[in-house]
Amino acid sequence: MSYQLSREEILKEVVKCGKNAQYFINTYAKISHPLHGLIPFNTYEFQDELISDFNDHRFNVVLKARQLGISTITAAYVAWMMMFRRDKNVLVIATKFGTAANLVKKVKSIHRHLPEWMKIAKISIDNRTSFELSNGSQIKASSTSSDAGRSEALSLLVIDEAAHVEGLDELWTGLYPTLSTGGRCIALSTPNGVGNWFHQTCVDAISEKSDFKITNLPWDVHPDRDQEWFEKETKNMSRRQIAQELECNFNMSGETVFHPDDMEIIKSQIKDPKYRTGFDRNFWIWEEYDPEYTYMLSADVARGDGNDYSAFHIFKIETMEVIAEYQGKATPDVFSNLIQNAAKEYNNCMVVVENNSIGYTVLDKLEENSYPNIYYAYKSSHEYVDPLTAETANNAVAGFTMSLKTRPLVVAKMEEFIRNKLITIYSNRIFSEMETFVWHNGKPQAMKKYNDDLIMSCAIGCWVKDVAFTVNQRELNYKKAFLNSMQKSDTIMNTAIKGMTGYKNHSYNKKMDKKLKDHKKFIWLLKG
């Protein structure tokens, strides 16, 4: 109390508080407790370490669990800064104005409940959006509008619940210049999936690719929380809620198309390719050709706008292992050559190419080069048509037709394969795309500024394997039985009539030999 302190003691205490934020907060700051009301702010060790990070690092990103008092300790730090530093301009932004205003409210409360002798800077402005002291320091709350803070020079920018701010990457581009005079930034949030600004900032901070210092604070950093507390707290929570609210798990916290548990399994299967080859070394190979197996190549062709990639995968049909993969920005003719050369290495395997505008160019090149095993399908049903039949079929088209109708179907088929563990994926490139492949307005698509070329290539392969080749299962079984019967008999019945036009004793045999050869070429499709 003031009457207990002399003028010299007060001055000494003020100087001590000005030099040590932790001391100031633990000695004089008071916070509102939901059960106990106004109580002294006795910080935990992890909160003290966070204050040190705020002091020592210009940019801080805090990945946190709920109810750790991180917003409160941030407010206490801001209150200390405004009290003991002149002319500090602090801006708090959040998706909702109320969220930002709540942090400002905490700063006000800490200042209001200080001893009067400690209030060396008095309140000059106090309203719903801003709070200003007589030493020129001020704090404002704002929602994440496009013009938030743009006209100001900021001493400190606080981004609350940063992972939930849409378009923060563009907003950050506009806000960063406001910090150019030495301003600092504190971004804090629970995770909300991957691919957003907060996730990328955390990733870059971990790999030391940015100026941000990352602090990871999952639920168990709190000394009063144990496994019993966790089990009680999560009793009625979903897996996604647990990941987001308590575990600081990016992969499991977002609305990804593929279930987080399934993605964890794929992550455990990832391994380096045996070879990295091709003109750009982007053709990755995990397994070489094995004559005991049959193979299929599926490809997604870039749109041609320079923002996406052309990609293909080679599947081992019997096990649906993805044993080779390409992703790159090759021109259509180069991409066609890559496909043909790769497919030849796997015994001229079936090639399935998405037949969009650029895809037709790739298919034309393959046909021009007389590649013998191109996927054909009926336009209306997407049923597989062997190349021999396709030559005479009026409604058969080369390649796979991707449309607004078929896109969700092929994605759903890939998700089904992954969920039922019917496919093995070794590529970290596919996994990275899966992390940012989300539901947006009810549609499966890559997050903004991310790609899904590998996913779509893989999804086409899953669809063709499971649907297109089995639509006419009864007919295929009949053909299989027919071929087996011909293979079991060495006797060929010649029903040609002597004297017919073009009659030759050996003509029928030659014709049947050719037919059998053609069918044997595609007999792997008839395995059911």
Give the mean pLDDT of 46-68.
95
pLDDT at 277: 94
Identify whether residues 24 and 148 lie together within a single domain: yes
How far, in whole angstroms, is CA 358 from its chain's centroid?
26
User: How far is it, in rounded angstroms, from Cα 52 to Cα 44?
Assistant: 13
pLDDT at 391: 76
User: Per residue in 423-449, pLDDT tens?
Assistant: 999 999 999 999 888 887 778 888 877
Identify whether residues 388 and 456 lie together within a single domain: yes
Identify whether residues 207 and 281 lie together within a single domain: no
Query: Long-range contacts: 305-311, Cβ < 8 Å, 24+?
Result: 307/451, 308/451, 308/453, 309/451, 309/453, 309/454, 310/335, 310/453, 311/453, 311/454, 311/456, 311/457
As given in the structure block, the two tokens for residue 389 are 């039949």
Identify whether residues 162 and 108 lie together within a single domain: yes
Whether residue 316 contacts residue 287, with contact meaning beta carbons closer than 8 Å, is answered with yes
pLDDT at 493: 46
User: How far is it, in rounded angstroms, from Cα 400 to Cα 374?
Assistant: 10
pLDDT at 37: 84
User: How far is it, in rounded angstroms, from Cα 138 to Cα 107?
Assistant: 11
pLDDT at 528: 39
DSSP string, 168-223: HHHHHHHHGGGGTTT-EEEEEE----SSSHHHHHHHHHHTT-SSEEEEEE-GGGST
pLDDT at 135: 95
Residue that is last in its domain, among 420, 445, 468: 468
Q: How many domains is the chain partitioned into structurally?
A: 3
Give the mean pLDDT of 383-401.
81
pLDDT greater than 90 at residue 207: no
Whether residue 59 contacts residue 185, with contact meaning beta carbons closer than 8 Å, is answered with yes
Q: H/E/C letters for each residue in 141-174?
A: EEECCCCCCCCCCCCEEEEECHHHCCCHHHHHHH
SS3 73: helix
User: Per residue in 286-339, pLDDT tens?
Assistant: 999 999 999 999 999 987 666 789 999 999 999 999 999 999 999 999 999 999
User: How far is it, in rounded angstroms, from Cα 193 to Cα 143?
Assistant: 21
Between 315 and 248, the higher pLDDT residue: 315
pLDDT at 261: 83
Identify whether residues 285 and 247 lie together within a single domain: no
pLDDT greater than 70 at residue 494: no
Identify whether residues 276 and 179 lie together within a single domain: no
Buried residues in 286-317 as b, exposed as e (16+ CB within 10 A): bbebeeebbbbbbbbbbeeeeebbbbbbbbbb
- Domain carrying residue 509: 473-527
Identify whether residues 239 and 348 lie together within a single domain: no
Whether residue 345 contacts residue 297, with contact meaning beta carbons closer than 8 Å, is answered with no
Identify whether residues 148 and 208 lie together within a single domain: yes
pLDDT band at 515 (very low <50, low <70, confident <90, very high): low
Q: Which of 20-24, 257-261, 461-465 has the lowest mean pLDDT?
A: 257-261
pLDDT band at 1 (very low <50, low <70, confident <90, very high): very low
Identify whether residues 463 and 514 lie together within a single domain: no
Whether residue 256 contacts residue 263, with contact meaning beta carbons closer than 8 Å, is answered with yes
pLDDT greater than 60 at residue 508: no
User: How far is it, in rounded angstroms, from Cα 463 to Cα 469?
Assistant: 9
Give the mean pLDDT of 246-270.
85
Identify whether residues 187 and 78 lie together within a single domain: yes
Identify whether residues 96 and 6 lie together within a single domain: yes
- Residue 510: phi, psi to the nearest 5? -65, -40
Mean pLDDT, rounded, of the chain? 86
Whether residue 425 contacts residue 269, with contact meaning beta carbons closer than 8 Å, is answered with yes
pLDDT at 474: 45
pLDDT greater than 90 at residue 505: no
pLDDT at 32: 87
What CATH number did the domain enclosing 155 receive?
3.40.50.300
pLDDT greater than 70 at residue 146: no
pLDDT band at 129 (very low <50, low <70, confident <90, very high): confident
Identify whether residues 109 and 212 lie together within a single domain: yes
